[in-house]
Amino acid sequence: MSWTILLLSGVLEAVWATAIAASDGFRRIVPTIVFLTAGGLSMAGLAYAMQEISVGTAYAVWVGVGAVLTVLVAVCRGEERLTAVRTALLAGLIVCVIGLKAVA
């Protein structure tokens, strides 16, 4: 259960990261509310997962999932380009997250 919550918290990290960019410095109310909500839920899920998963592993997985998804959202929105090098590096992050799960 902790791994599932950790992965969902990583997804919420991508949500709040995207929302904070869309908030225009907290001048837009809806993205600001999304940021605050997703950020709180993401941190709460991370804290819950850390009860059973070591802090280093949990944090690395949380950041890795959030980082990969945040880049993919930006690519889908046309805000960033997905190059071969970027794809390889993101794949490396995914392999590292899977590896951390495998050895935990």
pLDDT tens track for 51-99:
999 999 999 999 999 999 999 999 999 999 999 999 999 999 999 999 9
Whole-angstrom distance, CA of residue 38 vs CA of residue 45: 10
Burial class of residue 4, CB neighbours in 10 A (0-12, 13-18, 19+): exposed
**Whole-model pTM?**
0.89
